[in-house]
Amino acid sequence: VRALGRRIGFSEDVLSQLPEGAGVVTLFESDELELVQDAAQAVKVLSAFLFGLVVVLYALAVYVSGDRRRTLRDCGIGLSVVALLVLALRAIGIDTLVDLLDRADGDEPATSILHVGSTLLRQIALTELLVGVALILFAFLVGPSRLARGLRAFVAPALRHGVASTVIGGLLVFAVLLWIKPGGPIDGWIIALGFAALCVAGVAWVQRMTTAEFPHMTWARFRELATASVRPGSDPTANGGGPSTDG
């Protein structure tokens, strides 16, 4: 404040009348700040560890399940629900801490610090929500519905090129996730490689299905089937993408 007063042109006599600590906003006392820093560090380490543990346990549950598609869908729903709860609890926790601090100089500085300190937790929750929604959509894609079969028929021609198409497709899916992700755990290169491997494995799953269902599917054949699908009650994908058997 004194430096600003000198720049404006106030005399030293006027500036000397300012009380000590004028213009200083106290956000946290030293012991409170240390507590907040320790809590933020603990949340950072624990959140990353638990996130990786959850991913491993869900992957194991899907692997040993008798109905992997349904288990995968349930995992996606569980991740999405937990992520929404974490976001809600974070908001409630910040409001509660601000009320407990009860600063005479206002709540905005403390609220800003708590928001910044819990940014990683928010990023992890948003990433978890993204993964959960992706799992739900993937479970639908490999499901028995007519729309899912139509989508698999659409991608079947692109997945006819063996391992190359699987890897490229998985990396494209991973690139989309990176593009829309909110940050957080995927920023680590080890976890990012794990996510990329999961994306490739998912595309390989779809490739195995499309190879069995549509062994003869081509883009030209898909357009033909799409045109035929306008007939009421018809299921153009039921022929596996092979030549038409109509009269």
| Residue 17 CB partners (closer than 8 Å, separation 6+) | none
Are 216 and 240 spatial neighbours (Cβ–Cβ below 8 Å)?
yes
- Is the pTM of the predicted complex or chain greater than 0.75? no
pLDDT for the residue 14: 65
Rg for the chain, CA atoms, rounded = 28
Distance (Å, whole) CA 70 – CA 112 = 42
Percentages (nearest 5) of helix, strand, coil residues in the chain: 75, 0, 25
| Residue 20 CB partners (closer than 8 Å, separation 6+) | none
Are 76 and 136 spatial neighbours (Cβ–Cβ below 8 Å)?
yes
Distance (Å, whole) CA 121 – CA 47 = 7
Residue 62 backbone dihedrals phi, psi, to 5 degrees: -65, -40
Q: How many CB atoms lie within 10 A of CB 173?
A: 20
Are 153 and 225 spatial neighbours (Cβ–Cβ below 8 Å)?
yes
pLDDT for the residue 245: 44
pLDDT 10s digit of each residue in the chain, 247 long? 556 656 666 666 666 666 665 555 555 556 666 776 777 777 767 766 776 787 788 788 888 888 888 998 998 998 899 989 998 988 888 888 777 766 555 566 667 777 777 777 788 788 888 888 989 999 999 999 988 988 888 888 888 888 888 899 899 988 888 887 655 555 566 677 778 888 898 899 899 998 888 888 877 777 776 676 655 555 555 555 555 444 3
